[in-house]
Each structure stands twice: as structure tokens, then as C-alpha cells.
Amino acid sequence: MTKKSVMIQTTPEPKPLPLQGIRVVEFTHMVMGPTCGMVLADLGAEVIKVEPLAGDSTRKLLGSGAGFYPLFNRNKKSLAIDMKSARGREVVLKLIATADIVSENFKTETMQKLGLDYATLSKTDERLIYVSHKGFLPGPYDHRTALDEVVQMMGGLAYMTGRPGDPLRAGSSVNDIMGGMFGAIGAMAALTQRAQTGRGQEVQSALFENNIFLVAQHMMQFAVTGKAAAPMPERISPWGIYDVFSVKNDEQIFLAVVGDGQWKTFCDAFGYTDLFADPRVTTNNDRVLARGWLIPELRQRLVHFSRAELSQRFEQVGLPFAPITDPQYLFDDPHLRQTGGLAPLTLPDGRQTEVPLLPITLGGDRPGLRLDPPKLGEHTDVLLRSLGYSAEAVATLHAEGIVL
């Protein structure tokens, strides 16, 4: 008599992430510094957010800042501690001694007063990588206080986004977010170099220099052409059709026809044989020069279509298009939902929502959510015990108001 084989189904082990085993201790708030830690955490690092006893002030922001904390602090642990006390600094220094990376976005003098600046910490650990997120890299401006909006105004981005005489900041914290991303890139580069040399280093990322990188294409446009770049609403488009169109039912859609082949496709798709035969719009450059009459003509022809009809027609023939979408509707975007671009997340107050993940895949997978944004001090006791503090010592630190 033979035994029947039993099939046992097992859950596949999650793939190891590239920064697994790397410990990051961060002293950050707002957006720039937390973004750096979020990127490192999403890629597998253990990121410990050291907060004052009152908590990161970003937790309490209203309005457009309400989403900062839950977005940029996922996959992190929270240690709440009084760093101004000698006992608190002792705990923090023990924690830093276990870290590969320290990340901060406070004023240099603040970190120096606490003895947590790179010059001090590197004396006892030459392998330490220290990431500073600043308003400006060292130079004439580095004493100034910077914000995303400040550098957008002084760095040409607000000028390029708004109408002439009406500078307008971009509708996202672009410099803060990208500044944090460049901090993370610098940290990963420093990790790679440390593997070769055995030594860490200080990495600096700054809002102003990040903004300059964003507008560098317009600087180089001037270098190449000798003509100043016009603000986006007044720019000379490189393409004949590259515009937002108001269509049926007061809807809006962006449509683009960016080459001669696409022009033929567009005219065939809509039966515009007269336009295709018009010698004034034969080439893309012809159409750019003819925009003054061509775009109003197309607006009259396309206004009778609905956004859904135009989307379907453009998608069928492979032409670029985009419905104008408010951010809140992206939670229901079918592409994000079907491709795993959103992950379930529990807010610190217990409510359930979803959050966009890093816009990359690793081996076909999106780096996901391992930890919800932490409650204030959620991991304090576990981290203290891992540093060798006994249960009695942890209780004493709580009783003395050193930790939360």
C-alpha cells in the first residue's frame, strides 16, 4: 500500500531588499530629510526616526501639510527622547554607534550644540555616513533660511511655471522631495565607496542646488540659442499640437501630436484630409509657426467630442493624451490599482487608507510597505532593550521623562 503524497502550499519568502541590514538613524522633520529616509527605508534599510518628546511637528500640520507625515515616514521606527538632557544624548549616541548612516535636516549649529554633527561623530566612527539636507550647499547663501518656495522663486522655477509677471510655485514640494532623493542617492553612493575604502563620508544635498538642476534645461536653452526661455504659458512649443483642450461637458484633456508621422495618424483618425493636404502645416516646424490659427481651428473641431471619446480615439491609434485629473481621483486610477502602485496603510490615528509606492520595480516587484508610519515613540522600548538597557533601566528613563 503506498501513501498518497500530500501537497503543502507555502507562502513564498519575500525577496530581500537591496539595503537590508543597513541601519539609518535620522533626525529629520518636514519633507526633505524624511524623504531621504523614506527612500532608504522602502529599499530595505532599518530607519529609526529620533523625535523630541513632543514629536515631529510635521505630525500636526494642517492643510497642504497634512499628508507630509504619513507619506514620508512609512517603513520607519520611532524613538521619542529628550536629546537636550545628558541621559538622552547618551542613549542617542549608543544608537548612532550601531548605525551605518545618520541623516539630518536641521541647522548646522543645532546639530553642533547636541554633539551630533559629522565632525564630532566621525571622530569615533570613521565608517559613518552622514547625510545633511540643507537650504544651500556651502557658499555665500548658506547662512540663509530656505524653503521650497524660496528657492523656486530665486531659482527660476516659479518664473518658468507662472505667467509673465506672475511667478507661480510648482504644485508639489518638488525641491524638498527631490532634495531628499538626492540625499538618498548620495548615501547609497557613499555606501558603495565605503565597501571599497572602509571609510564613510559626509553627503550634502540642498534645496537651491536641486532647484537649479530642475531649471538647468532652460539655462542650457539660453546657452545654445542665445534667447531667454519664456515662461511655460508663453513658451514657443517645440511641437505643433501640445495643448490642453476644453471639450464637451466642460471637460478638459491634454492632446499631443509631436511629429510628422503622428500628424498623419491624427488627421486619418479624425478624417481631417483638408488639414493634412494644407501646405501651411506639412511639417512639425510648419505647424509650430501656424499655431496662431491651427490651435483655434482644432479647438473648434474637437469641442464636440467628450473627453472619453477623445481618450479612446487617441489610445486606439497610439497618440499621446491625458485627461486632466485632480489628485484625489488617483486613488481610483485603474493602472495604479492593477499594477500594485498603491499599498494599504494605517494612519497614526488608526484610519485606513492607501499610499503610493516608490515609482520603481526591483526584479519585477514594487518595494512595498513593511511598517505603517509610526506612532510617537512606538518603538522606544524595543530599541532601548536592543541597545542593552534592562527593563529596570528603561522604566527609569520613562519615570525621569527622558523617553516616551
> Once rounded to an integer, what is the mean pLDDT over residues 194-218?
98
> Once rounded to an integer, what is the mean pLDDT over residues 115-137?
98
Quickly state the pLDDT bin for 2 (edges 50, 70, 90). Answer: very low
Write out the three cell numbers for 178: 527631490
Q: Do domains 23-216+355-399 and 237-325 have the same CATH topology?
A: no
pLDDT tens readout for residues 345-365: 999 999 999 999 999 999 999
In angstroms, the CA 44 to CA 21 distance is 8
What pLDDT score was predicted for residue 352?
A: 97
Kind and range of the H or E run holding 206 = strand 202-206
Write out the three cell numbers for 389: 538597557
pLDDT tens readout for residues 247-269: 999 999 999 999 999 999 999 99
Query: Would you say residue 292 has pLDDT above 60?
Result: yes
Q: What percent of the chain has pLDDT over 70?
A: 97
Kind and range of the H or E run holding 226 = none
Place of cell 524638498: 176
- pTM for this predicted structure: 0.93
Quickly state the pLDDT bin for 15 (edges 50, 70, 90). Answer: confident
CB 70 within 8 A of CB 43: no
CA angle 153, 213, 129 (to 5 degrees): 110
Per-domain boundaries in the chain = 23-216+355-399, 237-325
Query: Would you say residue 74 has pLDDT above 80?
Result: yes
In angstroms, the CA 285 to CA 279 distance is 12
Q: How far is CA 404 from the centre of its chain?
A: 30
What pLDDT score was predicted for residue 1?
A: 41
What pLDDT score was predicted for residue 5?
A: 45
The CATH architecture one would assign to domain 23-216+355-399 is 3-Layer(aba) Sandwich (3.40)
Amino acid in the structure at residue 279: P
Of 184, 171, 221, 155, which is closest to residue 72 (Cα–Cα)? 184
In angstroms, the CA 351 to CA 280 distance is 59
What pLDDT score was predicted for residue 12?
A: 62
262: left (phi over 0), alpha (psi -120 to 50) or beta: alpha
What is the pLDDT of the chain when averaged over all its residues?
95
Query: Would you say residue 11 has pLDDT above 80?
Result: no
pLDDT tens readout for residues 172-187: 999 999 999 999 999 9
CA angle 102, 150, 108 (to 5 degrees): 30
Query: Would you say residue 3 has pLDDT above 60?
Result: no
Quickly state the pLDDT bin for 13 (edges 50, 70, 90). Answer: low
Sign of CA dihedral 246, 249, 251, 253: negative
> Once rounded to an integer, what is the mean pLDDT over residues 323-333?
97
> Once rounded to an integer, what is the mean pLDDT over residues 315-344?
97
Q: What is the CATH number of domain 237-325?
A: 3.30.1540.10
